[in-house]
Amino acid sequence: MGSSPVGLHRVLAPPGVLPQAADQLDNRAEIEPDEVRIKVERLNLDAASFRQLSEKHSGDGTAIRAEVLEIIANRGKMQNPVTGSGGMLIGTVDAVGPESPLGLVAGDRVATLVSLTLTPLAITDGLVRWDGRSEQVPCAGYAILFARSIAAVLPDDLDPELALAVLDVCGAPALTARVVRACGSSTVAVIGGAGKSGSLSLVAAREAGASRTVGIVPSTAERDRLTEAGVADVVAIADARDPVALSAAVTEALGGPADVTVVCVDVPGCEHGAILATADGGTVVFFSMATSFAAAALGAEGLAADVTMLIGNGYLPGHAGYALDLLRKDPAVRRLFEARLAGH
């Protein structure tokens, strides 16, 4: 069998599914003519995945590390079996097949923009340099890109960790901007506005012409941080899992329900509040991997809410460059990211 642009030839079980749906991938190091091998330096675990692992093991870094190693060894990829999510990686191009269309050359420092959930991966250092207590996982090993994978060459002007943190969520600002532009002048609520995808979505909404924006955060610490960054017109505190409190906070901040609501918090149970906070004829964009399809679909029906609900697609053409440019142009959002990376 020849190689497939979407990686079907690397699926070991079950047969016939795409790599993301596979239980197990073939992570052999030798590459097909259209594949690329990356020497991995660092994994960036998806926030929902790391949170689940951390809660399961009560923050015990050694146990978390052992489970991540076991997942990768068993599955040939890093996909949390509970959340279904993965993350991304950073590394250096090690080998390029002669038929690869990705335009990469050996030595390029890259970040993968396709999820770890479909990327063949092997770890060779037992993750000895990781304490198991952060989403950022320094490591040695290799990963494989298919013909239709996406990788961004890391920019020279930004710290690689900073660039990686931006690239990890770069679908959110791109889709937010597209939705806001399509709506014309609109009010925008970003639930989880102080996080990575949330703060970039706020900047994108403003840049795309939003008439007024609110960032909803869960705590006074996040409120102060987001207020200082100045990327939202209003910052308000509300529990996103409490539909009544959330919609009241949005309505008060915007003078009515939002035309566009963007959900960026990685906790379950935010669907109803987001729907209730959105105007009739408006749009909800769900980026959180903790979103329940049934809760959203039935919630809108149950509330007789005529809202368009989008599943946040992590890919849009040009999304990486767009997100990096937002960070370059906005020193305040850059400081937010740098503070997060420094653990504040």
Q: Nearer to a second copy by C-beta: 18 or 339?
A: 18
Name the minimum Å distance from CB 179 to a second copy.
9
Q: Which two tokens stand for residue 319?
A: 């999304």
User: Is residue 20 a contact residue for a second copy (CB under 8 A)?
Assistant: yes
Stretch of residues binding a second copy (CB under 8 A), selected from 30-38, 229-237, 293-301, 334-342 = 293-301
Distance of CA 80 to the CA centre of its chain: 14
Report whether the peptide linkage leading into residue 14 is cis, meaning its omega lies within 30 degrees of zero. yes
User: Is residue 19 a contact residue for a second copy (CB under 8 A)?
Assistant: yes
Asked if 17 contacts 26 with a C-beta cutoff of 8 angstroms, the reply is no
Q: Nearer to a second copy by C-beta: 267 or 316?
A: 316
Residues 198-227 that bind a second copy (CB under 8 A): none
Q: Nearer to a second copy by C-beta: 127 or 289?
A: 289
User: Is residue 317 a contact residue for a second copy (CB under 8 A)?
Assistant: yes
Residue 182: beta bridge partners?
none
User: Is residue 118 a contact residue for a second copy (CB under 8 A)?
Assistant: yes
User: Is residue 307 a contact residue for a second copy (CB under 8 A)?
Assistant: yes
Name the minimum Å distance from CB 91 to a second copy.
18
Residue ranges of alpha helices (H) inside the chain are: 47-56, 61-75, 160-168, 171-183, 196-207, 220-229, 243-254, 271-276, 293-302, 319-329, 331-341
Asked if 263 contacts 284 with a C-beta cutoff of 8 angstroms, the reply is yes
User: Is residue 191 a contact residue for a second copy (CB under 8 A)?
Assistant: no
User: Is residue 153 a contact residue for a second copy (CB under 8 A)?
Assistant: no
Instruction: Region of 59 please: left (phi>0), alpha (psi -120 to 50) or beta.
Output: left
How many angstroms separate the Cα of 99 from the Cα of each of 40, 94, 106, 306? 22, 15, 14, 48
Q: Would you give the binding string for a second copy spanning residues 229-268, x where CB under 8 A is met?
A: ------------xxxx------------------------
Contacts (Cβ under 8 Å, ≥6 apart) of 304: none
Binding site for a second copy (CB under 8 A): 6, 8, 16-21, 83-86, 113-115, 117-118, 148-150, 171, 241-244, 269, 272, 276, 286, 289, 291-317
